[in-house]
Chain A
Amino acid sequence: MGAVRKPVLVRMMIARMRRCAWLLTLTMIALTSCTGAHRSPDTIQVDIEGSPISTDPRFTTDILSSRINELVFDAMVRIDRNGQFVARLAESYERPTPTELVFHLRHDVHFSDGRPLTARDVKFTFDSILAPETGTPKRAGLSHLKSVSTPDDYTVVMTTDGPYAPALEFAMQTIVPDGTPLPARSSAIGPPGAGPFRMASFVRDESIVLERNPYFPAPANAPSTILFKVVPDPTVRALELTEGVSDFSENNIQPDVLPYLSKQPHLAISKSPGSSYRYLAFNFRDPYLRDVRVRRAIAYSIDRASIINSMMRGAARAATGLLAPENWAYDGNLPIYNYDPAKARQLLDEAGYPAGPDGMRRLRFVYKTTPEQSSLAQALQAMFKRVGITLEIRSNEFATFYSDIQKGNFDLTSLNWVGTNDPNHYYMIFDSKMTPPHGGFNRGYYTNPEMDRLVETGARTLDLSEREQIYAQVQRLAAEDLPYVSLWWDDTVVVMNRELHGFTPYPNGSLISLATLTLQGPGAAEPSE
């Protein structure tokens, strides 16, 4: 009986399987027809790694917020790709006295809601930041700004508390309309700005949509919309570029994926000199690290050329200091610590740095977990081993990492400075008063009276050639005394769909020229490797 029923069952199962196969095929056809990664001709998609912290430029201190906000808001002056100040909302500016900067505003500027931009808006923006009840982190950065006054609707006078050389950087603050309330829970989209775009939507952790500001002239054939999509995974960002879902990426693709992307016919990759500075910082609260011989030994232990070639795929330049060669104050004649493990060992012995029972010295390297930092940590660990140092690696997400840095729970750490323009940044990082939590970045508690004197004089000296000399001394002192070991300046790496033209990469990574991108820019220069 079983022998009779078996073929029936088998036939039934085959019939079911056939039906399933058909269903599966139909589903696949349906799916195939409903996908298709074709870009809307009027929208370009830019993948970003996270969401901006704030859409109100009075509060933005993180890089991502600044990158997006500079497309929505405009400032009296900006930095061009050569590091020079260019007038934007101001048509001209002058410094009539050492403590005063006067800006003459353009008369033809409108916010994206149609309101004309006047001196009142500028004053409101600065007064709002300076008001303690606003509670913005930007207030500390404007501590030398005494007042902002408006003699008429199109003139702004900024007064500083004394001669302050980097005062013009204050005018890089982007402007919001007079009367803009503080960010409320209901408004995810920031206030209207006078930049090339207006924010049409913002869904945290998902996307930001920018549309053209109707009051800001756009080039012909320019896409009307930019969709910033949050894609946290770097591999997926690369896949989206490959598939053509995303059109543009800057500095957020891992270097080891670049050779693969360069083989994609629809993508163009450009590498240009960048000013983002990667360094290794010491904790000066450790008595041994206070000895300059130990810090020099560590500098000699690092084979930067091979790290740049292998880990960074050549997309970086070996750095001599904070300021990149494109900066007006850069000094090209600084001591360089080429890889020399024998010298490193000799210096460690001279310094009397004690070794453990296994003959090895121990150092703790603390960093924020990123694929690049993890590779750097492993490379350093291998290199330090050759000079008799065991590098203990401690990797954490930013909040824990930063807590360790603040508490001094580290020997070495690595971070980078993005967008340094005025050399006064040296004051923020090396002046002995600028230790956390006093509004500065001297996280290693470096103290050197000569450095303090130089950076404080540099901030108060208005004559450019005098400043140049002062910062040449600062750079030399930093290179000799080594509060930081300079690693490299990252290149600005842009991966872009070949249909797009007219993007000008900035050394500081600014995305402002997304505003001038065109779809078939006549005569526009294509990026080249």
Chain B
Amino acid sequence: MIAYVTRRLFALIPVALGVATLTFAIIHLVPGDPVIAMLGETAAPADVEGMRHQLGLDRPVLEQYFSYLGGLAVGDLGESISYRKPVSRIIAERYPATIELAAAGMLVALLIAFPLGIIAGSKPGGTGDIAAMGFAILGISVPHIYLGPLLMILFSLDLRWLPLTGRGGFSHLVLPAITLGTALAAIIARMLRQSLIGVRESDYMRTAISKGLSERAALIRHGLRNALTSVITIIGLQMGSLLSGTLITEMIFSWPGLGRLLISAIGARDYPTVEGCVLAFALTYVVVNMATDLIYALVDPRVRIS
């Protein structure tokens, strides 16, 4: 197990290298100039050149790339052009907010998806199934940018239950988490339904029912655990869309996370910050997927990590 985790952690190195290279290439290829974004177009050419030199942007791109990789090797993500602070420090300040939001979004997704999936999967074609899957389609179809303000109008303006924006206590987390988690809930619910329908025909289910368990009880006690492996896979894979969903959700709810940082950094062509944020997102995705692999072993005793 420890050897497995160590091996997987070592596998992060080529992933990080690939992500760093791609992000570096893309952000440098996109038109736009960090110095002009900062100084404006009235800046004298000499001042523009001076700042370019100060930021090291006048060096050949390959040299900048290798210097970036060199820094990365020792954990130095460079200094933000707009914040004038080390990128790693800014990310450390913002990362908890994004993880809090993503975790809450995932929790909301699971809380919605499991009852819906079980209701739908236990009696396919029934009223519960049609209603639950109708909700699922709605959940997938409604974009964050629409759902967020809609929830704000309902729960903040009309009912006055929850605050509109910002990060604070638990109450601040509810609406962004629902906004972020609804689409994922819909995907997980559909997957769970399919898996449950699949396991309904299994021998062990027939045995459980013939021993006197009701169909629903057999499904929840024996079927659910077996259906979980595919659901866990989808949860791991959907982590990417959950993380990218934080970008929009953080903008709508003025949530001070990594997503908002990334968007403003792209606008300012703050190369080191963009590269650092994308790397943080990518590594989170990889680590979560590694964690889901470990969870398989807990859910399915036949899976052995070696």
Q: Tell me the A residues contacting B by CB distance below 8 Å.
A: 1-2, 5-6, 9, 28, 31-32, 34-37, 50-51, 53, 61-62, 132-133, 135-137, 139-141, 143, 183-185, 203-206, 229-233, 235-236, 239-240, 242-243, 245, 397-400, 402-404, 406-407, 436-441
What CA separation (Å) do A284 and B46 show in the bound complex? 26
What are 9 A-B pairs with beta-carbon distances under 8 A? Answer: A35-B163, A37-B163, A61-B42, A229-B254, A232-B254, A239-B156, A402-B32, A406-B41, A407-B31
B214 close to chain A: CB less than 8 A: yes
Contact B256 A206 (CB under 8 A): yes
Contacts A35-B161, A205-B260, A233-B251 given; indicate if A132 touches B46 (C-beta within 8 A). yes
What CA separation (Å) do A403 and B41 show in the bound complex? 11
What CA separation (Å) do A138 and B224 show in the bound complex? 66
B96 close to chain A: CB less than 8 A: no
Contact A135 B268 (CB under 8 A): no
Give every chain B residue within 8 A of A407 (Cβ-Cβ): 31
What CA separation (Å) do A61 and B39 show in the bound complex? 8
Return B45 CB to nearest CB of chain A, in Å: 5
Contacts A139-B47, A397-B266, A439-B43 given; indicate if A239 touches B217 (C-beta within 8 A). no
Contact A243 B50 (CB under 8 A): no
Give every chain B residue within 8 A of A243 (Cβ-Cβ): 156-157, 160, 164
Contact A399 B260 (CB under 8 A): no
Give every chain A residue within 8 A of B253 (Cβ-Cβ): 236
Give every chain A residue within 8 A of B160 (Cβ-Cβ): 32, 35-37, 243
Contact B84 A239 (CB under 8 A): no
Q: Which of A206, A235, A399, A437 is within 8 Å of B48, CB to CB?
A: A437
Contact A62 B40 (CB under 8 A): yes
What CA separation (Å) do A80 and B46 show in the bound complex? 34
What 1/0 mask marks residues of chain B from 248 to 281 whose CB sits below 8 Å from any chain A CB? 0001111010001100101111000000000000
Q: Which of B30, B41, B79, B153 is within 8 Å of A400, CB to CB?
A: B30
Most buried by B among A203, A232, A399: A399
Return A284 CB to nearest CB of chain B, in Å: 17
What CA separation (Å) do A32 and B171 show in the bound complex? 9
What CA separation (Å) do A328 and B149 show in the bound complex? 45
B37 close to chain A: CB less than 8 A: yes
Q: CB within 8 Å of A: which of B19-36?
A: 30-33, 36
What CA separation (Å) do A230 and B45 show in the bound complex? 32
B82 close to chain A: CB less than 8 A: yes
Return A445 CB to nearest CB of chain B, in Å: 14
B125 close to chain A: CB less than 8 A: no
Contacts A37-B163, A402-B41, A436-B41 given; indicate if A31 touches B157 (C-beta within 8 A). no
Contact B264 A137 (CB under 8 A): no
Contacts A1-B212, A2-B212, A37-B164 given; indicate if A403 touches B32 (C-beta within 8 A). yes
Q: Which of B41, B85, B174, B216 is within 8 Å of A31, CB to CB?
A: B174
Contact A403 B31 (CB under 8 A): yes
Give every chain B residue within 8 A of A203 (Cβ-Cβ): 256
Contacts A205-B264, A243-B164, A402-B36 given; indicate if A232 touches B251 (C-beta within 8 A). yes
What CA separation (Å) do A135 and B35 show in the bound complex? 11
B194 close to chain A: CB less than 8 A: no
Contact A240 B164 (CB under 8 A): yes
Contact A140 B47 (CB under 8 A): yes
B10 close to chain A: CB less than 8 A: no
Contact A399 B38 (CB under 8 A): no
B284 close to chain A: CB less than 8 A: no
B152 close to chain A: CB less than 8 A: yes
Give every chain B residue within 8 A of A242 (Cβ-Cβ): 157
Contact B161 A31 (CB under 8 A): yes
Q: Which residue of A lies closest to B264 (CB)?
A: A205
What CA separation (Å) do A250 and B80 show in the bound complex? 31
Contact B164 A245 (CB under 8 A): yes
Contact A2 B213 (CB under 8 A): yes
Return A24 CB to nearest CB of chain B, in Å: 11
Contact B44 A399 (CB under 8 A): no
Contact A137 B42 (CB under 8 A): yes
Return B104 CB to nearest CB of chain A, in Å: 14
Return A158 CB to nearest CB of chain B, in Å: 20
What 1/0 mask marks residues of chain B from 97 to 123 whose CB sits below 8 Å from any chain A CB? 000000000000000000000000000
Contact A140 B213 (CB under 8 A): no
Contact A236 B261 (CB under 8 A): no
Give every chain B residue within 8 A of A398 (Cβ-Cβ): 37, 267
Contact B252 A439 (CB under 8 A): no
What CA separation (Å) do A34 and B162 show in the bound complex? 8
What CA separation (Å) do A37 and B40 show in the bound complex? 38
Return B253 CB to nearest CB of chain A, in Å: 8
Give every chain B residue within 8 A of A236 (Cβ-Cβ): 149, 152, 164-165, 252-254
Contact B41 A240 (CB under 8 A): no
What CA separation (Å) do A235 and B170 show in the bound complex? 23
Return A56 CB to nearest CB of chain B, in Å: 11
Q: Which residue of A lies closest to B46 (CB)?
A: A132
B83 close to chain A: CB less than 8 A: yes
Return B143 CB to nearest CB of chain A, in Å: 13
B60 close to chain A: CB less than 8 A: no
Contact A403 B33 (CB under 8 A): yes
Contacts A37-B163, A205-B261, A245-B164 given; indicate if A140 touches B42 (C-beta within 8 A). yes
Q: Which residue of A lies closest to B265 (CB)?
A: A205
What CA separation (Å) do A240 and B50 show in the bound complex? 42
What CA separation (Å) do A341 and B160 show in the bound complex? 51
Q: Which residue of A lies closest to B37 (CB)?
A: A399
What CA separation (Å) do A71 and B51 show in the bound complex? 28
Contacts A232-B254, A233-B251, A403-B31 given; indicate if A239 touches B157 (C-beta within 8 A). yes
Q: Which of B45, B47, B214 is within 8 Å of A438, CB to CB?
A: B45
Contact A232 B171 (CB under 8 A): no
Give every chain B residue within 8 A of A230 (Cβ-Cβ): 254
What CA separation (Å) do A453 and B48 show in the bound complex? 29
Q: Which of B46, B170, B214, B267 is within 8 Å of A2, CB to CB?
A: B214
Return A261 CB to nearest CB of chain B, in Å: 12
B306 close to chain A: CB less than 8 A: no
Return A409 CB to nearest CB of chain B, in Å: 9
In the complex, the 7 A-B pairs of residues with the closest C-beta atoms, listed nearest first: A399-B32, A403-B31, A137-B43, A137-B39, A1-B212, A185-B84, A140-B44
B6 close to chain A: CB less than 8 A: no
B301 close to chain A: CB less than 8 A: no
What CA separation (Å) do A438 and B45 show in the bound complex? 7
Q: Which residue of A lies closest to B152 (CB)?
A: A239
Give every chain B residue within 8 A of A2 (Cβ-Cβ): 212-214
Return B123 CB to nearest CB of chain A, in Å: 15
What CA separation (Å) do A230 and B256 show in the bound complex? 10
Contact A132 B50 (CB under 8 A): yes
What 1/0 mask marks residues of chain B from 159 to 200 whose CB sits below 8 Å from any chain A CB? 011111110011100100000000000000000000000000
What CA separation (Å) do A32 and B160 show in the bound complex? 7
Give every chain A residue within 8 A of B153 (Cβ-Cβ): 239
Return A441 CB to nearest CB of chain B, in Å: 7
Contact A135 B51 (CB under 8 A): yes
Give every chain A residue within 8 A of B42 (Cβ-Cβ): 61, 137, 140-141, 439-441
Contacts A137-B40, A205-B256 given; indicate if A32 touches B164 (C-beta within 8 A). no
Contact A399 B261 (CB under 8 A): no
B202 close to chain A: CB less than 8 A: no
4 new A-B contacts at CB < 8 Å, known A31-B162, A205-B264, A402-B32? A2-B214, A136-B39, A204-B82, A230-B254
